[in-house]
Structure 1
Amino acid sequence: MKLKIYGGLSLTLEQVCSVLPEAVSLPPIRRGDLLRDVEEGVNVVGIIDGEFFQSMAVTPTEVLDALRTGMVVYGAGSMGALRAAELHEFGMVGCGRIFEQIRDNPYFLDDHLGVTFEDASSSHVSFPMVDFAATLEALVMTGSLDESSAERLYGVYASLHFAERGLARLAVHPALSREPRLMRAINLISANVVRQKELDGWELLHRIRDDLSKVVILNTTLNS
């Protein structure tokens, strides 16, 4: 069984291996990687992170071609969630909340997933919209932030280019400079960040682990 996981941003390569030690853990997927995986006879691929701005993105056609060979492809978190939402009807397995949001919302914007980074071993340079939105929702649900403030912050943050999104940039945005309550809310967000991409990445890893365990049990039963 050959298994590869493309991550490195939402989850570190070490985190991937903590759940799936047998997996080859790789940086964000880019165009051409799946073709190579097919040629190498890889059986299962999990896609969490993928390159958007830095390089050519893996295409839906590449994923479909891989699925046609019998490869099982999972997606969650970032690029994986996007491709799974597009291709779940063709057999790609989607996991996590972000996948569900993209699948169920035809107006979802791809740039809400985007982050900038130096390389897969570096920290995020920008803070993705999906994580920002998840943080706002959690704060509203706990009563720590009112809905009107959340909506205002969401609108301003969404207006930024994805490469410029970050709490430091938000804190100096001219639209918020005369609204002290929103400036205080930014500090609240900073202290209570929900990393939805990471949470969905963990869900993907555990889904693959559980599915592989079921295969092992089935094979053992058939061979007994």
Structure 2
Amino acid sequence: MKVVFVGPSLPDAGRFVGEDIIVRPPAMQGDVRLAVDEGTQAIGLIDGAFEYVAPVWHKEILYGLSNGVAIFGAASMGALRAAECHAFGMTGVGEIFEAYATETLVDDADVALLHGPEELGYVAITIPMVNVDATVALCCVDGLISDQEARLVKESARSLFFKLRSWKAVVANCPEISGARADELLRILRDNYVDQKRADAIALIDALRQADGCSRAPRFIFNRTSLWRNG
């Protein structure tokens, strides 16, 4: 059995998984441990809840790895946990993971966004910083915006709380860019939007589908602390 925890990074995950992969909502603390105890051979962690509930605990990831479970992480919470746990055997996938693993990115909030509930397909309401970076990079390569505009857009986006970050708010927060150019810049950013979280989520599902399901030898001895035993 294989399980993937996913939500707003890839709302249509069902299109990409096979019959051997079970899709579950964004993980919260205890969900990975439960999947391991259910006998899951491979787990994909993409999205995780964090604001109003306890997030996925590193200890439960280590628990899964110590039991030979293949655990992959990408795109959002999964990229964060993979960067933190890859030394113990968790497999990171995608550009966002690589950025955290190399400390090009260090802020957890760079993957955060405001979105609707599962019933509405996790519709995105704001833009995560990692997608801003990817979009700006593409626009620079294609010569659509200048290096100075790229710097201003990224500084503006990073200064906004993740629940307020939309392209309109980002451009409006750049006083150096105004008038017709501001309108044009807004159109360029919207028309050339790069959803890096989605791309990395799809890459993780590809890796999960290819996982052979064989038990992996752990790289460490799992310490069953009192907090774990009583959790």
When normalised by structure 2's length, the TM-score is: 0.85
Aligned amino acid, residue 50 of structure 2: F
Matched residues in 1 for 2:82 and 2:22: separation? 21
Amino acid at match of 1:210: Q
Determine the structure 2 residue equivalent to 1:133.
133
Structure 2 Cα separation of the partners of residues 61 and 214 of structure 1: 22
Q: Which moved more, 1:96-105 or 1:181-190?
A: 181-190
**Deviating more after overlay: 175-184 vs 117-126:** 175-184
Structure 2: gaps spanning 5 or more residues? 216-231
Work out which of the residue numbers 68, 76, 79 in structure 1 matches 2:77: 79
Query: In structure 1, what is the Cα distance between the partners aligned to 2:110 and 2:179?
Result: 25
Q: What's the CA shift for 1:174? A: 6.5
Aligned to 2:151: 151
The count of aligned residue pairs is: 213
Q: What's the counterpart of residue 10 of structure 2?
A: 11
Query: Structure 1 residues 142, 177: CA separation in 2 closer, same or farther (over 3 Å shift)?
Result: closer
Per-residue CA deviations over 1:163-210 (Å, capped at 9, x if unaligned) read 111113224336356465344212100011000000001111111222
User: What secondary structure, in the 3-state scheme, does the structure 2 residue paired with 1:11 have?
Assistant: coil
Partner of 1:222: none
Residue 32 of structure 1: how far off its partner (Å): 1.1
Secondary structure, counterpart of 1:212 in structure 2 = coil
Question: Matched residues in 2 for 1:138 and 1:145: separation?
Answer: 9
Structure 1's unaligned 5+ residue stretches are 216-224
Q: How does 1:158-177 map to 2 (within 5 A)?
A: 158-173=158-173, 175=175
Identity of aligned residues (%): 29
- The residue that corresponds to 1:25 in the other structure is 23
Q: In structure 2, how many angstroms separate the alpha carbons of the residues matched to 1:107 and 1:17?
A: 30
Amino acid at match of 1:132: V
Provide the residue aligned with 1:96 in structure 2.
94
Aligned-residue offset at 1:142: 1.2
1:195 partner letter: D
Residue 65 (structure 2) pairs with residue 67 (structure 1): yes
2:179 and 2:50 mapped to 1: Cα distance? Answer: 34
Q: Secondary structure at the match of 2:144?
A: coil
Secondary structure in structure 2 of the residue aligned to 1:98: helix
1:72 partner letter: A
Distance 1:214 1:63, change over 3 A: closer
Give, in whole Å, the separation in 2 of the partners of 1:131 and 1:174: 18
- 1:112-139: CA deviation from partner (whole Å, max 9, x where unpaired): 0101223232301211000111000011
Change over 3 Å in CA distance of 1:52–1:71 after alignment to 2: same
Distance 1:180 1:53, change over 3 A: farther
Amino acid at match of 1:184: E
How far apart in 2 are the matches of 1:15 and 1:103? 25
Tell me which moved more, 110-119 or 192-201: 110-119
Q: Distance in 1 between matches of 2:105 and 2:46?
A: 21
Match of 1:118 in 2: 116
